[in-house]
Structure 1
Amino acid sequence: MEIGVSTFVETTPDPQTGEVISHAQRLREVVEEIVLADQVGLDVFGVGEHHRKDFAASSPAMVLAAAAPQTKRIRLTSAVTVLSSADPVRVFQDFATLDALSNGRAEIMAGRGSFIESFPLFGYDLNDYDELFEEKLELLLKIRASEKVTWSGKHRPAIQNLGIYPRPVQDPLPVWIGSGGNTQSAIRAGLLGLPLVLAIIGGRPVQFAPLVELYRRAAIKGGHDPRKLQVASHSHGFIDWDTETAADKFFPSTQQVMNVLGRERGWGHYDRSSFDAARSFEGALYVGDPETVAAKIIHLRKQVGITRFMLHVPVGTMPHDQVMQAIRLLGTEVAPRVREEVAKWEAAE
């Protein structure tokens, strides 16, 4: 069972003061967070790609590369790379470079993108949303499989027996499929034999169990051993020594972000009652003291079959020292509890 952290490197207004830190400051803070995550024994750190004012990481590979020489064992991944609006050749080159700098610790999480700002920015038509992803994933996997590539498609110039460099340390370079719960995404990942990461940020996480089962059945149909495939969750949360203290610290920035996105996407108003319901044992928020958060992660593993858990922290802008404390507790208090319990449970099976 792997435990880690993900971030979108947000630079939203501070909910208490209204101040907005610079992109540069937040990027430097995230590198410190990655280094700490490595030091406290976490397995993976993910950085999401966005192209808007309130998110600082338009190039996850660059951010992760800044941390690579300062870390020793933690895996470094995008969370996600918006592959639909990217060039698969450049994506592969960037993460192969990261893989070299980290001595074989890079990963790509490829997604279609729930944020769509990158499509007009790079000249893509949203009407081609699904087609773009399918075509570009095909090319990315072909590059991963072969040093020299011959390929043609609809949305990118053809490649005729050209070498693509550098080659990664890992063979193959890990490529995950990111999904918000889309059935077709899960089936695609299973048929291709690729690991799946699910954004479980609302509702009841146990409701994702049928989707994971569908993914595993698709893997069998594709000729892959489902026991060898990983399934990850990306879930909002925060940890402090006391559960109510954790909730009080995490709510203001979470509410602010959820209501900004809600106005953009037509969601209902996000208030404290919505937040408190989501941090119940069956809810999608992993907020509380180490014992509470560990118990929820173990429950997710048993009920859904998750093999990797990524705590998304912060949501919005929180004091850097609070975020560092949450990461420290995740590594030193939560992860050992989860690993010990999962090991016992698996041994009993």
Structure 2
Amino acid sequence: MEIGITTFVENTPDPTNGNLLPPHQRLKNLMEEIELADQVGLDVFGIGEHHRSDYLVSSPAIVLAAAAVKTKNIKLSSAVTVLSSDDPVRVFQDFAHVDLLSEGRAEIMAGRGSFIESFPLFGNDLKDYDTLFSEKLDLLIKLNKSEKITWSGKHRPSIENRGVYPRPYQKELPIWVAVGGTPESVVRASSKGLPMMLAIIGGMPDRFVPFTNLYKQTYKSAGHTAPMQLGINSHGYIAEDSQKAADEFYGPYAQVMSKLGRERGWSPMSRDHYEAMRAPQGSLLVGSPQQVIDKILYEHELFGNTRFLLQFSVGTIPHDKMLRAIELLGTIVAPAVKKAVGKKD
């Protein structure tokens, strides 16, 4: 199993003192986080795209290109690229550059986006939310397979026998489809033979089993022969002991989730709810290294996933604590999980 980290590169006030980092310092910290993730042997680092004041990265490819020349082995992915409001030609070109700079470590994780700011910003109509993604994903797949393409659609000008450059270092860029748990999104990924990344950020993970089963069944029914790749992405944090992890993560996490709750009509995050999510069968992977190991293995039993990504920085965690969490994930959690999964396989 591959194990890695995702981040939205939040820039929210530190709940302990109310301070907000200068944006350039937050990005410098991010580079250190990616470098450390590479050094401790993690497999993937993913960066999300947002167009809001509380998240810094609107163009993951630019930041990943900077990380490409600072790292040696780790795969560099978007998490996600909001493909619905972007131009697939430009997305492909940008990630081809990341792939060349990293000598074959770039990936695209394409999604429709859980935030909508990019749609009006780039002149897209939200009523086309689903068809925009479906059409642009088809174009991205075609760009990935052919140097010259001819294409026409509804949401973008036609392309007539044009070459798209540069080509990536890899023969083809890995394209993952990120889903939040709708059957239509699951079927779209599996029928096209694409790897699927399922986000589980609330509730009980076992309720998502029907979605992963649907993915596997549709993938096989479509006749795909390439090895199936299924990922799980969850919120989490690791410290030396359970109470330390719980206390350090709660403030930043509750601050962000309560803010989103006000925007979306959810209840504020309470400590009781938070602790329930930290329970052995809950969705939040916050605790000691052994607790996180146990929960990743529990979810592997449920899903048979080949990749697990943890989103550590849901809210602002002090940089030194974030580096320590990455170190614990890479040096203790990941080796133990891989050893246990290897024995089962």
TM-score range, shorter chain: over 0.9
Q: Specify the alignment match of 2:30 in structure 1.
A: 30
Matched, 1:269 2:265: no
Look up the equivalent residue of 1:307 and give its one-letter code: T
CA-based RMSD of the aligned residues comes to 0.8
Equivalences for residues 218-233 of structure 1 within 5 A: 218-225=218-225, 228-233=227-232
Equivalences for residues 277-316 of structure 1 within 5 A: 277-316=276-315
Equivalences for residues 131-210 of structure 1 within 5 A: 131-210=131-210
Q: Specify the alignment match of 1:325 in structure 2.
A: 324
Aligned 8 A contact 1:31 1:64 in 2: no
- 3-state DSSP of counterpart to 2:25: helix
Look up the equivalent residue of 1:52 and give its one-letter code: R
Cα distance in structure 1, aligned partners of 2:9 and 2:253: 14
Cα distance in structure 2, aligned partners of 1:184 and 1:22: 41
Structure 1 residue ranges (4+ consecutive) displaced by more than 6 angstroms after TM superposition: none
Cα distance in structure 2, aligned partners of 1:22 and 1:123: 30
Cα distance in structure 2, aligned partners of 1:281 and 1:345: 21
Q: Specify the alignment match of 1:49 in structure 2.
A: 49
**Structure 1: which 5+ residue stretches go unaligned?**
none
TM-score (norm 2): 0.99
- 3-state DSSP of counterpart to 1:70: coil
Identity %: 58
- 3-state DSSP of counterpart to 2:249: helix
Q: What are the superposed Cα offsets for residues 311-331 of structure 1, whole Å, 9 maximum, x if unpaired? A: 101111110111110000000
Look up the equivalent residue of 1:275 and give its one-letter code: Y
Matched, 1:127 2:127: yes
Shift of 1:221: 2.1
Cα distance in structure 2, aligned partners of 1:16 and 1:120: 35
Q: Specify the alignment match of 2:16 in structure 1.
A: 16
Q: What are the superposed Cα offsets for residues 5-59 of structure 1, whole Å, 9 maximum, x if unpaired? A: 0000000111121121122211111111110000000000000000010000101
Aligned 8 A contact 1:108 1:175 in 2: yes
Cα distance in structure 2, aligned partners of 1:292 and 1:14: 26
TM-score (norm 1): 0.98
- 3-state DSSP of counterpart to 2:10: coil
Q: Specify the alignment match of 1:6 in structure 2.
A: 6
- 3-state DSSP of counterpart to 2:69: helix
Cα distance in structure 2, aligned partners of 1:239 and 1:292: 9
Matched, 1:239 2:207: no
Q: What are the superposed Cα offsets for residues 126-172 of structure 1, whole Å, 9 maximum, x if unpaired? A: 01000100110011011001000110111111100000001011122
Q: What are the superposed Cα offsets for residues 100-127 of structure 1, whole Å, 9 maximum, x if unpaired? A: 0000000000000000000011010001
Cα distance in structure 2, aligned partners of 1:216 and 1:242: 36
Cα distance in structure 1, aligned partners of 2:317 and 2:3: 21
Cα distance in structure 1, aligned partners of 2:321 and 2:313: 9
